[in-house]
Amino acid sequence: MAGHLWRTAWHRHSRFQMAVVGLGVGAMLGGVYWASWEGLTLVHRVPFIGPLIIERLVYLLTLVVFCLLVMSQALVSLSACLRSPESGALVATPSPPASVFLCKTSEATVVAGWATAVLLVPVLCAYARVAGWSLSSLVTATALVLPYLAIAGAVGAVGMLSVVRAVPRQRTLVMWGLAAAALRGVYLLGRPLWEGRTSTGTLTQFLHELLPSAGWAMSPWWPSQWLAQAWLSLTHHRPGEALFHAGLLVANALFAGWLVWVVGHYLFRGTYLVFQDHAGPVTWWSRRLARVARGCWRVVDGLLAWVPQPARALVLKDLRLFWREPLQWGQGLIFFGILGLYFANMQRMGYDLAFAPGWKQLVTGLNVMATLLTLGSLVVRFAYPQMSLELRCAWLWGATPVSTRRMLLTKFWVHGSLACAVTEGLVVLSNQALGLPAAMQACAVVMVGWASFALAALALGLGACFPDVRESDPAKLVSSFGGTLALVVTLAYVGVMTACVVVPWYGLAAPRLLTAQAGLSMGGEPWLVAGWAAPAAAVGVAGVASLAVGGVPLWVGARRLTQGDVR
Amino acid sequence: MSSSTTPMILLEHVSKRFGDALAVADLSLAIQPGEIFACLGPNAAGKTTTIRMLVGLLRPTAGRIAIGGHDLAAQPQEAKRLLAYIPDQPFLYEQLTGREFLEFVGQLYGINGADQGRRIEAWLATFGLDSAQEMLIESYSHGMRQRLSYCAAFLHEPRVLVLDEPMVGLDPKAARLVKEALRQQATQDGLTVFLSTHVLSVAEEVADRIGIIDHGHLVALGTLPELRSRAGSTGQLEEVFLRLTGGAPQVVG
């Protein structure tokens, strides 16, 4: 069967596409392994307490991944169980609803969890090397990820079904709930800065802050704790304890499967029918909400008055569609929110006071990389399919005076501006928290601004170069050759931009920073090596890379739209 | 139907080739303002390809297309301002309400303000969608989506309306509404209609002239009496159509 699937894939997809995918995945996994190895080795070398910090990090990592998996599973389950045409066809058959729900939940678990499993492998390999695991321990530890994923999948799916069943106007309430969560997140983000909380910057205080925070991740009620404990038991050569926690994971994974079956039996069919009732009961508060929503859109239209028609119509339409797809901005909210919370709390961990020469500069580079990687993955996921989906409306576009080229450029400005607003906010937050020199802050802000527009142009341009009007599922569009190419180029480009931040400010400056710290100043600002040459060159390289990565696909895509047929 | 020296739709020796396959071969047609023209043909005859070339979604391999005297290749924006097009299965933005979709279409054609509101209200009422205008399109039935497409098409008061299978998904009441709207617009406002259909009764009821396409070639053109005379038949259009396109298929067994 596997051989048949491989042969089918080999013949269906181009060899070039498979080679690109293979190289990209290999490079990514290699990069994750290298970064994990470097980070774990660095921490492990901290005198006396390095291994203790690593243990805490294992608990935190497994808990954070578990929470993200549950949220991701909930979103994927919503599509797979309640929105897919296949579910509708299955509900109409005599198949037991419990079977349908279990089947779709399993499918959603694989979809939501496979990437996590793949990414955990290089991290585990790096940890295995640091901890001195045998090969059998590594294989066992990797295998234990499967029941961990199953539990997260079940929790996410059951939670999603319960929420949808309980909420009559799910879309509106979910959106308002997410908006309220976003406001709360902004408050949490800003509070450390508003209150001017800072640390003394000593290692002792850093550990004093970190270690208790990790304590709640060690609660035995978390499934993530069972996985973490199993791994740590292997590290400490306690096979009995490892076996116990492995058994705990497997037993609870089986229980989770049973729970999915029971919940599906009692809730799935009714929830499916409620979900199909798009209108829902019309109450006074739903009418009031609808009036408020219309008023809000009139305000937005007024704010866009400076944009000429028909571009304003295009922008308003895209904003409405974006707002009414919580899956899109919800994921952005989660990932950018996590980054924002981390950046805002860096002062509490003493990042603003250097532990080592160049530490702040290095952290800045890593923060820029994390921000751009998050943006890149979200932009490819949501912006790349846009042109294919719009061209399905070709009956509308083709017959209007508005050209598809104009539509593409309008989308570029909308996506780029939104991306820029979010990423610049995060980078400014990071710069402020670290207390960077003004010159470095300015360079980081300029580079991230360019990168935001470049990534938007790359995704949209490649989407216009490789449109597929026959496919309506955005996830399948992203997994096509064009989407894969967009992802690979995004990763390479983010690497280049990160290097442009890190190399001149950290790589070249570290020796001078060390000298300055030792009181042997050589004059001038320590982070400026050979005057402004290195930073200026880095900014230049970033500009050229941004123009190439963003400008070329956008130009080619626009040309293709102007010249090509829409089948 | 009025005669004019400038046809509203003009196809001159239009051909379309997809690789080695010739979808449309040397098609020449002139449709006058206010005329309703029905294009009939078997499956894969080239009707939809012709329509897509007419509205600018496909480029002809050879030949020239003009809408209202504007060459579609040289003056696409001017030509498209006169056009409205409804495919057999119009894809709509499911997360917009019906009203938002019409406002969007109106703004694309430069209709704003009070005029836009008046037109939207009028067409929503005409096609019976006024009570559903604030609902998301994803909750619309297929027939409602078709009717919304008609509202969008008529909103900017086009001079030329191109329809591909106009009756798909419409109930008898809605189908009657569409036929009456087409006749009224053609007679009173000089709207030129180019439609393709498999439903021969639609062509019989509304079309001023009928063209029959088979294997990319225009095999017959004329009014219904003219086609009957050519086919040597006095029967229904179905009989005429089958005679002109190779006869009825034989049932085996």
Q: Is the predicted pLDDT of residue B100 greater than 50, yes or no?
A: yes
Which of chain A's residues have a Cβ under 8 Å away from the Cβ of B55? Answer: 395, 398-399
Does B109 sit within 8 Å of A317, measured CB to CB?
Answer: no
Q: Which residues contact B21 (CB under 8 A, 6 or more apart)?
A: none
Question: Given this model, what pLDDT does residue A187 score?
Answer: 67
pLDDT category, A282, cuts 50, 70, 90? low
pLDDT category, B196, cuts 50, 70, 90? very high
pLDDT category, B2, cuts 50, 70, 90? very low
Report the chain B residue with the minimal C-alpha distance to residue A396.
Answer: B85
Does B139 sit within 8 Å of A396, measured CB to CB?
Answer: no
Does B90 sit within 8 Å of A399, measured CB to CB?
Answer: no
- Region B143-147: what's the mean pLDDT? 90
Distance from CA of B172 to the nearest CA of A (A): 25
> Residue type at B234?
T
Buried-exposed string B177-213: b where 16+ CB fall within 10 A, e elsewhere: bbbebbbebbeeebbbbbbbbeebebbeebbbbbbbb
Report the chain B residue with the minimal C-alpha distance to residue A406.
Answer: B108
Taking the Cβ of residue B86 and every Cβ of chain A, the question of whether any pair is shorter than 8 Å is answered with: yes
Does A279 sit within 8 Å of B152, measured CB to CB?
Answer: no
Backbone angles phi, psi at B70, to 5 degrees: -95, 125
**pLDDT per position as a tens digit, A117-132:** 888 889 999 999 998 8
Q: Is the predicted pLDDT of residue A22 greater than 60, yes or no?
A: yes
**pLDDT per position as a tens digit, A309-362:** 888 888 999 999 888 887 778 778 888 888 888 888 776 666 655 555 567 777
Question: Given this model, what pLDDT does residue A67 score?
Answer: 87
Percent of chain A with pLDDT over 90: 28
> Residue type at B226?
E
Q: Which two tokens stand for residue A478?
A: 């992203």
Question: Given this model, what pLDDT does residue B97 score?
Answer: 93
CA A419 from centre of chain: 14
Q: Considering only CB atoms, which residues of chain A are within 8 Å of chain B?
A: 278-279, 290, 309-310, 312-313, 316-317, 320-321, 324-325, 392-396, 398-403, 565-567
Mutant choice from A392, A395, A403 vs B, greatest count of B C-beta within 10 A: A395
Which of chain B's residues have a Cβ under 8 Å away from the Cβ of A566? Answer: 52, 57-58
Rounded Cα distance, A147 and A161, in Å? 21
Average pLDDT, chain A: 81
Question: Given this model, what pLDDT does residue A567 score?
Answer: 40
Question: Given this model, what pLDDT does residue A29 score?
Answer: 86
Does A399 sit within 8 Å of B162, measured CB to CB?
Answer: yes
Residue of A58, A245, A35, A220 lying closest to A140 (CA atoms):
A245
Percent of chain B with pLDDT over 70: 92
Q: Do strands B36-40 and B21-31 pair parallel, antiparallel, or not at all (unpaired)?
A: unpaired
Residue A318's CB is within 10 A of a number of other CB atoms, namely 19
**pLDDT per position as a tens digit, A48-60:** 788 888 888 888 8
Tell me the ipTM for this assembly.
Answer: 0.80
Question: Given this model, what pLDDT does residue A279 score?
Answer: 53
Percent of chain A with pLDDT over 70: 80
Question: Given this model, what pLDDT does residue B233 score?
Answer: 67
| Interior angle at CA A482, CA A480 and CA A484, nearest 5 | 70
pTM of the model: 0.76
Q: Is the predicted pLDDT of residue A182 greater than 70, yes or no?
A: no
**pLDDT per position as a tens digit, A242-259:** 999 999 999 999 999 999
Taking the Cβ of residue B115 and every Cβ of chain A, the question of whether any pair is shorter than 8 Å is answered with: no
More reliable by pLDDT, A357 or B208: B208
Give the lowest-confidence range in A145-149, A211-215, A531-535.
Answer: A211-215
Does B135 sit within 8 Å of A399, measured CB to CB?
Answer: no
